[in-house]
Structure 1
Amino acid sequence: MLRIRPLFAAAFVVGLTGAAHAETPRAAIITRGFAHPESVLLGPSLRYVSSIGAELEPLKKDGDGFISIVDAQGRLVERRAFTGLDAPKGMALIADELYVADIDRIVGFDLQTHQRTFVVQMDCEQPCLLNDIAVVDDRLLFSDTLRGRLYDLDPKTRQVTLLTKDIPGANGIAWDKARGEAIIVALGSDFAGGHLFTWSSARGVRQIPNSPFGIFDGVAVLPNGRVLVSDWISFAGRPGAMLDLDPATGTASAFPLQTSIRGPADFSFDEAGNRLWIPATLDDAVVILPVPEDYTSAQESRLEGRAGLSHTAAVGR
C-alpha cells in the first residue's frame, strides 16, 4: 500500500495573507486571499490565478469570478486584476492576450490594460462546463467537462472545431510537444473518477494504457517527458494527491507533498524555478512547492517493476 510521505523533514511552510515569501528556496509557500482558486498560469514574470468566486459554484453565472496577479515570489500583487467573469477556470497566454475558460465562453483580456478584448460564446445545446486551455502554436485547445469534449479554437478567426467527444469528464490539458499530442486528465462523466487520455490529429483520442483512476484536475509535462497529475481524491474536503507517471505506459507513483492540499486543481510547473504552483481550491490558497531533482531527471530505476496505480492504491485508501 503506497502512502504519500513528506520528502523534506527540515522544510517548513510559511502561511501568507497575500504579502510574504519563504525564507528559504526549498520551503513551501502558501499564498492566501483568493476565492476558490481553480487555475494558476505562469507568465514570463508574473503569475495569474483564476478564482471561481465566494461560493464554489462552477456553473453559476453570478459575476463574482476574477483573476489575480501574483509575483514570482508568491506575493499577491492585485487581487481583482481581471473581472467581469462568472466562474473562471483554465487560462492560457498568447503574446499579450490572456484567455480564460468561463463556463460557456472563452474570454480574452489585454495583459496591459486588463480590458476584455475577446469573447467566443459556445452554443451549448445542453449544459457545458469549459474548463482548461492549452496553447498549440497560435491556437487553443480547450475542454468541456460536462460533455466530455475537446475543442480547437483559432483566436484570429474565432473558429471553433470539435476534436472529440469521447473523454468522460475531460478536465486538465497539457500539450506534449515532444510527442506531438495533448494529454487530457478526466474525472468521469459522473465526477466520481476518470482516467487519462491522449489526443493527436494523427491518432485521435486514446486512453493511456493502465491509466490511473481518480478525480483528476491538473496536468503538466516535465522536461524529462514524465507527467504530473493532481487528484482531488474526493469533493468532501479530504486532502488531495499528486501522481507522477509515464504517459506511454501509465506506470505511476505518488508524488510527495510537503503539506496538505485540499482540492488541488489546475497547477503549473515552473521549470526555471523547479517549483509547482498548485491552487488549493478548498483552502482559498495557492501552494508553491519545490520539486525534487529526481522528478525532473530519469526515473526508470525508481519505477521499475511498478504497475500502473489505481486511484485507490495511489492514496493508500
Structure 2
Amino acid sequence: MKSTIKLGLIGLSASFLFAQCGPQKTEETEEVAVIEEVKSPTLTKLWETPATLETVESVLYDEATGTIYTSNIIGQDPLGKDGKGSISIIDNEGNIVTQDWVTGLNAPKGMGISNGKLYVTDIDQLVEIDIATAKVSNRWPVQGAQFLNDVATHDGKVYFTDMNTGKVHMYADGKITTISEGHDSINGIAVANDGTIYGLDASGLKKWNADGTAEVVNNAVTGGDGLVILGDGNFVASRWQGEVWFASAEDQSILLDTKAEESNTADIGYNPSEMIVYVPTFFKNKVVAYKLDY
C-alpha cells in the first residue's frame, strides 16, 4: 500500500506589541509539508482452535446466527470417497462446540447458506444439509464434475466452482446449471450484494459482467482459494500454499504468510461485523482467527 503526501499552505501571521517600544514583527508565510500516512491493512491473531479439526478445508460464518461452520476432509485425499468427511461447529472464542455436527461426507470443501440449508460441495455432488435437524436432506450429483470446490449464495441461488473442469455452476429450484466455463483452476467464489459474481482462478481475481463474460480485476492474486468481498472495491483472498492477500483493482499486499511454518491457508471465512478472518490451516487441523484492520 502507499503513503500519500499532501502539501498545504499554512500562513503564520502574528503581530506582537512589546512594552513601550517593542518592534512590530512582519507577516511571514512559509510552506510546510504535512504528511498523511495511509495505513497498510494488517491481520492480528486473536485465537486458534485445538488441532482436532482433521484436514479442515473451509470456514463459514453465518451472519444470521453467529454460528461458525468448518468442513473437514479427514485424511490426505481431497478426492477420496471414503465417507469420513464431516462438518464441525466452533464458537467465536476458538472452542469446538460440536466436533461431529454432520458426518458421512467424503471430502467436503466450500459451504454456503440459503433458505435454512447448508450447501457443501463434496467432490462431484452438492450436498444439502438441513440446519435445524443437522441431517443431510439432499444430494445433488453434478454431471461431469471432477473437483467441486468453493460455494457462494445470493438471493436463493447457490453458486459453486469446479477447479478441474474450469466451470461455475448454479443451483436453484432443484436444478443445477452451468453458468460459465473456461476458467483455469477456478476455486474461490463470492457474490456482492448487487449480485455481481467474483472468482479466483489461475489468471487472478475475476469479475463476471452482466452479459456473462468475465474480466480480470487483479492479476497478482493467482491461484486463489478463499475470497471475501469487503466492499468499495476491496477484497481478501487466500492462497492454499500459505498466503492471505488484501487486493483491489489498483493494488495488493500480503497480509499473512505462513509458508515457513508449513501451515496452509485454505478457504477463509469472514465475520463482517467484527472484521474477523477465519483461516483453516488444512493439515495443521485447526482454525486461526485474525482481526482485520484496514
TM bin, normalised by shorter chain, reads 0.7 to 0.9
1:33-62, Cα deviation, whole Å (9 max, x unpaired): 111111101122211000011x22111101
More helix by share: 1
Alignment partner of 2:70 out of 34, 46, 49: 49
Of the three residues 132, 144, 148, the one matched with 2:162 is 144
Shift of 1:207: 2.3
Number of the residue aligned with 1:264: 265
- 2:8: which partner in 1? none
Question: Residues 123 and 270 of structure 1: is their aligned pair in 2 closer, same or farther, counting only changes over 3 Å?
Answer: same
The amino acid of 1:218's aligned partner reads: G
Q: Find the structure with the greater CA-based Rg.
A: 2
Q: State the Cα deviation string for residues 143-173 of structure 1 (Å, max 9, x = none).
A: 000001101110x3x2111111111011011
Q: Tell me the residue number matched to 1:174.
A: 190
Q: How many residues align?
A: 251
Unaligned runs of 5+ in 1: 9-25, 189-193, 234-239, 296-317
Deviations 1:211-245 (A, max 9, x none): 11533101101144300111134xxxxxx111111
Q: Does 2:82 align with 1:67? A: no
Change (3 A) 1:94 1:228: same
What percent of counterpart residues are identical? 27
- Residues in 2 aligned to 1:132 and 1:197: alpha-carbon distance in whole angstroms: 15
Summarize the alignment of residues 1-317 of structure 1 with structure 2, pairs less than 5 Å apart.
27-31=45-49, 32-43=51-62, 44-53=65-74, 55-124=75-144, 128-154=146-172, 156=173, 158-178=174-194, 180-186=195-201, 188=202, 194-208=203-217, 210-233=218-241, 240-246=242-248, 249-256=249-256, 262-292=263-293, 295=294
Gaps of 5+ in 2: 1-39
1:258 Cα offset (Å)? 9.2
Match of 2:205, as an amino acid? L
Preserved contact between residue 7 and residue 258 of structure 1 (Cα < 8 Å): no
> 1:27 and 1:164, CA in 2 relative to 1: closer, same or farther beyond 3 A?
closer
- Output the CA distance in 2 between the equivalents of 1:6 and 1:170: 26
TM-score normalised to structure 1 length: 0.74
Identify which range, 27-36 or 81-90, moves more after superposition.
27-36
The answer to whether the 8 Å contact 2:42/2:292 transfers is no
CA drift at 1:268: 1.3
Could you list the structure 1 runs, at least 4 aligned residues long, displaced by more than 3 angstroms after superposition.
5-8, 256-261
Residues 242/275 of structure 1: CA separation in 2 closer, same or farther (3 Å cut): same
Two-structure CA RMSD over aligned residues (Å): 2.3
Secondary structure (helix, strand or coil) at the match of 2:283 reads helix
